[in-house]
Amino acid sequence: MDIEQIVALIQETADNDTWVPDEEFSVFNQYDRSYYCENREAFTHKYRVFKAIANVLQPDHIVELGAHGGSGADAYLTGVNYQARYTGYDSFGPAQDEDGGLWVPDEICQKIFKSRDYNRYNLITCDLRNIERIAAGDLVVVDAGHDYRNAYQDLILALKSQPEFIHIDDYCGTDGVGLAVDDFAKNWAENIDGFGFIQHVSGSALIKMKYDDV
């Protein structure tokens, strides 16, 4: 399938899905949950999109830059019935939740995976600006820093690992991410086999890659 067909199938799959993220391990229960709860329908659809991306692409290894508390990982892995490997990168810094409690993202990730009886994962605590290579996966998710500089450099890290697809969340969420993706698409056009936009509350870009000239 070409990128237009892939994106259309992802959109159709998500729009027709009735899956609901596990409340305990979703954005509806993270440290800043009130914002997401106020927009529950839109964010439920967004995570259905993540699930649909994995369901359509059927990756063997999902690599996520910006794992955070694992809500995205749970959606992607649900899309492949938890039959793929997962590597998540993040600083995993704790935060204070809206009730004054401590919210520790890597502990939440591990609770999710334990509840799914899943052990094919690796959580890597790091500053992405201090590493030169990430794990090689066939789907790389870029969802860490949302300013231009960090989003662009995360895309370069993804490129170096030579995935078949790169999925960039929040393409329309901030000017920095959208500009970084557009510049990446121009600067590395010879390595891009297709570019598609997926509709949800903050939009996603899906890039199909090729590597003859890398």
Q: What is the pLDDT of residues 59-102, one digit of tens each?
A: 999 999 999 999 999 999 999 999 999 999 999 999 999 989 99
| Residues whose CB is less than 8 angstroms from the CB of residue 100 and which lie 6 or more positions away in sequence, other chains included | none
Confidence of residue 44 (pLDDT cuts 50, 70, 90): very high
Write the CATH number for 66. 3.40.50.150
Q: Is the pLDDT of residue 213 over 70?
A: no
Looking at the 3D structure of the chain, how many domains does it have?
Answer: 1
Tell me: pLDDT of 119 over 60. yes
Beta strands in 18-119 (DSSP E): 61-65, 85-90, 95-96, 102-103
Computed over every residue of the chain, the mean pLDDT equals 96
| Predicted local confidence at residue 214, as pLDDT | 46
Indicate the pairing of strand 121-125 with strand 85-90. parallel
In-domain check, residue 214: no
Kindly report, residue by residue over 158-168, the tens digit of the pLDDT: 999 999 999 99
Candidates 126, 10, 110, 111; CA nearest to 66 is 126
Three-class secondary structure of residue 181 per DSSP: helix
Structural domain span for residue 141? 3-209
